[in-house]
Structures are given as C-alpha cells and as structure tokens.
C-alpha cells in the first residue's frame, strides 16, 4: 500500500521520550467540512458517511475493523466465521451466526449490553414505522435467539456472505432507553446513551458537536481510557479554512478532500503531521453501455486503451496514490484481483479494436462508423471538484488524440446524479463509488439495479446487464466460505475487465492531518480514523 506521511518539523528527542506516556485530560479540536443533518445513523437522513464518522466515539460495534482492515471482536468475544464454527450453513438453505457478548460491556448509564439489545435493534430496524436508511441483511433475519443475556444466535433464512458488514459491524440500540421512544425523532439531535468511549454533550448547529469522556467506558482498563476529556468537532466551510486553523493551532485534526498540491501544502505546516493513503472511494470512468458508440464492447475496450491512467495519477495527483486495476480495492484481501493491468495507453490496440468493430479513420484521423457516424463521446463529471476538472481535461485530450470526438460536460452534483448518470444522458462519466469492506458488487452491476423511470433509482449507471453475471453476483453474495467466495469474485473480475462497463482509475487519496500535540492517531485504511479514539491523548 502506498502511503505518504509527513511531519513539518522534528520533535525534540527528550520531549518525545517524556511525551510517549499517554496523559489524561484536555480537549481535542477536530474540524470537518460537512455537518450531519441528524445523529441517528440508522435513519435514512443519517445515512451519510459523516454521521457514521462523528458518532463512532459513541458506539461499540459487535466486531470492528482495525487499521489494517482486519476484523477484530469488540462487543462480541470472537469474530464468528465458518472456519471457527461461529457461522453455520443450515440444511434449509439458511445460516446462523452465534457468538458471546463480552460480559464487561455496559451502556454509559451502567446498564449491561445484552442479547436483548441486539434483538431490539433487529426489531427496530425492521419496524415499518421508522424511516430506516437500509435494511440490507436485517431483512433476512428470521430470529434472534438469546439463550442467556450474553449468548446470541442469529438465524437467517438464506446465506448472506456480507453478514459481518451488514449485521455485526453495527452498533446495538439500548432497549431500556429507546423501547418506548419515537425512533424517527429520539436520536436526531442528541444521543442519550452511549456504548462507546465518549458520551454526547451538545450540538450547536452550524458550529460544533461536543462529546465528553464516558466515565463508565467498559474498556477503560487500568489506564482509565479514554485519555481525552472532551472531543469537539467544529464545522468549517472549506478546506482553506481548515488548513489555516491547523496552521494557527486552532484545530488538532482535519480531514481533507484530495487535491494536487495538498501534501506539499501540509508539509509546509511546521506544527502538524499528515497521512495520505488510498481511501475507500474509487474514481472510475463509467461507460454507458446502453447507447452508441459504447454499446459495443470493442469500442469500450478501444477507448480504455486510449487512456493513459498512469499519466492521470502522475499529473493530477502527483503520485499520491497508484493506478487502480480492479473494481475492488487492494485492502479487500483475498477478493481483490487486478484484472485491468493490460489497459495501458496503446494506440495500436485502439486501431485494432475499432477496425474489428467496423470503424475507419477519416481524412482528419477521426473514427467513422460504416454509416458515416463519428465516434462522439459526451464526457461528463461533477462541478466543484478541481481534481475532476483536471482529470476530464486530460482524458478528453487523450481520447481526441486517439480519434474520438470528445465533448466535456460539467454539471452540478445534484443534477449529475439526479438526472445525468441515472437517466443515461452521457457516454462516459467520471465519478467515484465508495467501496466498503465486503466485496459484494451486486448493487453496481446487477440488471435489476439499472435506474428506470419513473423513480430512476439504482446504481447500475453503466446500464450493464448480463444474466450470467447476475447469477455470478448472486452466487458470490451467498457463498459463506471465504476462499470459495474469493474464487467467484475473481471470476467476476475477469468478466468485468473484458466487458468494460467501467474503467477504474485510482483510489481517491484519503488525507488526514493533525497537530503534533495530538498523539495515538492511527489512520485507518477505510477512512474510519476514529477506530482507536480511546487511545488518543494530548501532549502538553
């Protein structure tokens, strides 16, 4: 994995030795550009990633991902898998998941976290009265059995391979506090009970959210974690303000959107460290396989050979992240399988593929189809993102040089997603998908996910539909054995590289910068940087 880290100045050796012992106390000041609409992460309006990030210190999940992307038990005492017997395939085609709950686990009000809370969470998520954002996985649960308060057995009516992500990487809801509440409103503006190292203290809309140390944190240990007394997240309007605040030592940590010169700018701040790593978002070129000229796979592959992805990474991102050769990400071991490696800029390949598809070059070296039509490409992306502007300009130049007639269309994000890509009003689109930990790609490539009138919902913007691929996607999502699922996923990767509904470009760089006084930060491969927040501390 490619990582860029930096430190504006050296820390004095003697001080560092003394400072290496975590200290208790102090307020850490974080900054982010986005404010969540509500805090309840289970609701549709709480489905944004910023809600998940900001509420992480208030939650303990059953299992958690560490900084290397490996599953670790948290509320559960083990990570249940097929290999350790925690997951079983049932004769009726279903599955069950069994684990024990850590008996030390309590809510911030001292009540024990038990199997009843998991049962209550399942019932709440499935209650049609509540505006739940996603019921994926939960809708397959038939029963949550509690043999004892700390013994859990979840029975699913069919195999569900992404069970760790969809069911166990979730935080339970406190039955004793929410059983009689209106779930659509009760946790919108404040979280009343916490299972994490911090408790909610206040939210001044438009300004800040304040969390305080949970004095009853069940994993406090002999050290009395968490070390920090207060964690304040302020909402800044843009990256420039955040960088200024970091430089003025008015912010202890900032998360930034990628930009060409960002690492150099952060490196110039003497009092801060930073970390740039390939993030969970992957930038891609989406081909509209439903309309001319990219309804022909040979033309899609020709266009892929016309694009120099290495140059994009070198010029636009100054090498902050490498080229991406898969629709999955390298941290998704063992599913990741790079199958797009052969797509390097090669005009000979462009000529060969186009000729095979019945195209010839005219006097101006532009491709013309047999009926005289030009190879016109409407290349579209979102406004307000300088990286994307640079990227489409480079891609348009490369396609034009290869004989395609390229037009760039920049549109506002809401129009781009609401009207352009979903309705197929493009030939080639540049944007990103966010990849979770699970390798499921059914939402992207299934025929059923093609957006259609009147609602135009569905994420298959490629308009890509192959029934045999649908079967492969479904089989991969049902396979509980990791190795067998990896084989199915790799087979799928080969098909996608040949069919070319999308050309992966690079993982969006995830940039985190923090003040030297903030210690214990271990950036996470999936952008979940608060995963070990109970170990953070502030040097004097």
Partner 1 sequence: MSARLHHVIRRLVRAATTLLAASAVVFLLVMVGPDPLATIAQESDGIDTKQLAAEYGWDRPWPEQYLDWLGDALRGDLGTSIRTNEDAGSMIVDRLPVTLALGGASMLVALATSVLLALWASARRNQRGDRVVTGLMVAMGALPSFLLALALQWLAVQAKDLFGVTIVYVGGMPREPGLLELIQRFALPVLVLAMVQVAAWMRFLRSDLVDALESDMVVAARGQGLPERQLRIGHALRISLAPLVTLVALEIGTLVGGTLVVETVFSLPGLGRLLVDSLQARDVVVTLDIIVLGAVSIVIATMAADALAARLDPRINS
> Is residue 491 packed enough to be buried (19+ CB in 10 Å), middle (13-18) or exposed (0-12)?
middle
Q: Given candidates 19, 22, 28, 29, which one binds partner 1 under the rule CB under 8 A?
A: 29
Q: Which is nearer to partner 1, 268 or 347 (CB)?
A: 268
Task: Find the binding residues for partner 1 in span 236-265 (CB under 8 A).
Answer: 236-237, 240-241, 244-245, 247-250
Question: Which residue intervals of 56-205 are DSSP H helices?
Answer: 115-126, 163, 175-178
Does 1 bind partner 1 (CB under 8 A)? Our answer is: no
Does 458 bind partner 1 (CB under 8 A)? Our answer is: no
Q: Which is nearer to partner 1, 46 or 174 (CB)?
A: 46
Q: Which is nearer to partner 1, 125 or 276 (CB)?
A: 125
Q: Are 171 and 59 in contact (CB under 8 A)?
A: yes
Q: Given candidates 20, 455, 468, 540, which one binds partner 1 under the rule CB under 8 A?
A: 455
Q: Which is nearer to partner 1, 143 or 185 (CB)?
A: 185
Q: Are 493 and 30 in contact (CB under 8 A)?
A: no
Q: Which is nearer to partner 1, 24 or 230 (CB)?
A: 230
Does 232 bind partner 1 (CB under 8 A)? Our answer is: yes
Q: How far is the CB of 36 from partner 1 (least distance, A)?
A: 9
Contact stretch for partner 1 (CB under 8 A) within 57-65, 152-160, 227-235, 255-263: 227-235
**Rounded CA separation 418/521 (Å):** 37
Q: How far is the CB of 511 from partner 1 (least distance, A)?
A: 20
Q: Given candidates 5, 9, 27, 84, which one binds partner 1 under the rule CB under 8 A?
A: 27
Packing angle, helices 482-499 and 467-478, rounded to 10: 160
Tokens of 371: 């009926």
With H, G, I as helix, E, B as strand and everything else as coil, classify residue 270: coil
Q: How far is the CB of 30 from partner 1 (least distance, A)?
A: 12
Site string for partner 1, 115-134 (x = CB under 8 A): ----------------xxxx
Q: Given candidates 88, 176, 208, 366, which one binds partner 1 under the rule CB under 8 A?
A: 208
**Rounded CA separation 48/35 (Å):** 10
Which of 16, 13, 51 is CA-nearest to residue 32? Answer: 51
> Is residue 153 packed enough to be buried (19+ CB in 10 Å), middle (13-18) or exposed (0-12)?
middle
Q: Which is nearer to partner 1, 98 or 382 (CB)?
A: 382
Task: Find the binding residues for partner 1 in span 387-426 (CB under 8 A).
Answer: 412-415, 417-419
Q: Given candidates 78, 143, 189, 360, which one binds partner 1 under the rule CB under 8 A?
A: 189
Q: Which is nearer to partner 1, 132 or 539 (CB)?
A: 132
Does 222 bind partner 1 (CB under 8 A)? Our answer is: no
Q: Are 474 and 467 in contact (CB under 8 A)?
A: no
Does 342 bind partner 1 (CB under 8 A)? Our answer is: no
Q: Which is nearer to partner 1, 308 or 438 (CB)?
A: 438
Q: Which is nearer to partner 1, 232 or 486 (CB)?
A: 232
Q: How far is the CB of 251 from partner 1 (least distance, A)?
A: 9
* Binding footprint of partner 1, residue count (CB under 8 A): 45
Site string for partner 1, 45-74 (x = CB under 8 A): xxxx--------------------------
Q: How far is the CB of 90 from partner 1 (least distance, A)?
A: 28
Packing angle, helices 297-306 and 347-356, rounded to 10: 170
Q: Which is nearer to partner 1, 247 or 301 (CB)?
A: 247
Give the number of other Cβ atoms within 10 Å of residue 64's Cβ.
Answer: 21
Q: Which is nearer to partner 1, 232 or 525 (CB)?
A: 232
With H, G, I as helix, E, B as strand and everything else as coil, classify residue 209: strand
Does 201 bind partner 1 (CB under 8 A)? Our answer is: no
Q: Given candidates 10, 21, 180, 206, which one binds partner 1 under the rule CB under 8 A?
A: 206
**Rounded CA separation 453/460 (Å):** 14
Q: Which is nearer to partner 1, 208 or 366 (CB)?
A: 208
**Rounded CA separation 409/429 (Å):** 9
Phi, psi dihedrals of residue 498, rounded to the nearest 5° = -80, -40
Phi, psi dihedrals of residue 184, rounded to the nearest 5° = -70, -20
Contact stretch for partner 1 (CB under 8 A) within 30-38, 68-76, 117-125, 194-202: 30-38
Q: Which is nearer to partner 1, 55 or 339 (CB)?
A: 55
Q: Given candidates 9, 143, 185, 498, which one binds partner 1 under the rule CB under 8 A?
A: 185
Give a three-class secondary structure readout of 429-487: EEEEEECCCCCCCHHHHCHHHCCCCCCCCCCCCCCCCCHHHHHHHHHHHHCCCHHHHHH
Which of 121, 147, 146 is CA-nearest to residue 59? Answer: 121
User: CB within 8 A of 129, min separation 6: which ones?
Assistant: 183, 184
Q: What are the C-alpha distances in Å from 367 to residues 306, 371, 395?
A: 13, 11, 17
Which residues here bind partner 1, judged by CB under 8 A?
27, 29, 35, 37-38, 44-48, 131-135, 185, 188-189, 204-208, 232, 234-237, 240-241, 244-245, 247-250, 412-415, 417-419, 455, 457
């Amino acid at each position: 994995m490619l990582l860029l880290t930096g430190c504006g100045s050296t820390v004095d050796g003697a001080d560092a030795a003394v400072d290496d012992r975590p200290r208790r106390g102090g307020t850490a000041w974080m900054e982010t550009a986005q404010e969540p609409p509500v805090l309840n992460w289970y609701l549709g309006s709480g489905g944004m990633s910023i809600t998940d990030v900001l509420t992480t210190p208030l939650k303990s999940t059953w299992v958690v991902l560490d900084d290397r992307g490996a599953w670790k038990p948290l509320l559960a005492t083990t990570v249940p898998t097929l290999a350790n017997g925690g997951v079983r395939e049932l004769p009726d085609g279903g599955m069950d998941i069994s684990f024990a709950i850590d008996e030390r686990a309590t809510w911030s009000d001292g009540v024990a976290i038990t199997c009843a809370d998991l049962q209550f969470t399942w019932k709440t998520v499935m209650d049609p009265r509540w505006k739940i954002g996603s019921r994926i996985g939960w809708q397959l649960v038939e029963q949550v059995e509690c043999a004892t308060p700390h013994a859990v057995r979840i029975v699913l009516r069919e195999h569900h391979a992404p069970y760790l992500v969809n069911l166990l990487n979730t935080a339970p809801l406190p039955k004793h506090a929410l059983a009689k509440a209106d779930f659509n409103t009760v946790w919108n503006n404040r979280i009343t009970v916490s299972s994490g190292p911090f408790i909610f203290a206040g939210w001044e809309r438009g300004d800040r959210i304040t969390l305080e140390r949970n004095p009853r944190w069940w994993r406090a240990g002999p050290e009395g974690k968490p070390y920090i007394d207060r964690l304040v997240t302020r909402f800044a309007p843009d990256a420039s303000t955040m960088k200024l605040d970091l430089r003025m030592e008015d912010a202890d940590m900032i998360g930034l959107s990628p930009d060409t010169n960002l690492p150099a700018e952060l490196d110039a701040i003497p009092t801060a460290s930073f970390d740039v790593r390939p993030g969970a978002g992957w930038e891609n070129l989406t081909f509209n396989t439903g309309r001319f000229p990219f309804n022909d796979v040979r033309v899609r592959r020709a266009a892929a050979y016309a694009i120099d992805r290495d140059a994009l990474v070198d010029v636009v991102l100054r090498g902050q992240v490498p080229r991406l050769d898969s629709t999955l990400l390298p941290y998704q071991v063992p599913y990741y399988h790079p199958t797009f490696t052969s797509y390097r800029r090669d005009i000979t390949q462009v000529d060969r593929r186009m000729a095979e598809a019945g195209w010839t070059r005219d006097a101006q070296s532009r491709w013309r189809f047999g009926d005289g039509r030009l190879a016109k490409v409407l290349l579209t992306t979102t406004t307000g993102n300088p990286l994307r502007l640079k990227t489409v300009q480079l891609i348009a130049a490369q396609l034009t040089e290869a004989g395609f007639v390229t037009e760039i269309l920049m549109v506002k994000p809401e129009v781009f997603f609401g009207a352009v890509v979903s309705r197929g009003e493009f030939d080639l689109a540049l944007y990103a998908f966010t990849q979770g930990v699970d390798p499921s790609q059914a939402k992207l490539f299934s025929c059923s996910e093609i957006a259609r009138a009147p609602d135009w919902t569905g994420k298959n913007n490629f308009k890509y539909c192959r029934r045999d691929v649908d079967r492969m996607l479904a089989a991969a999502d049902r396979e509980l054995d990791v190795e067998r699922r990896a084989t199915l996923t790799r087979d799928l990767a080969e098909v996608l590289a040949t069919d070319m509904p999308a050309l992966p470009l690079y993982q969006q760089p995830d940039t985190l910068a923090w003040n030297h006084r903030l210690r214990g930060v271990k950036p996470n491969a999936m952008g979940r940087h608060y995963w070990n927040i109970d170990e953070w501390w502030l040097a004097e």
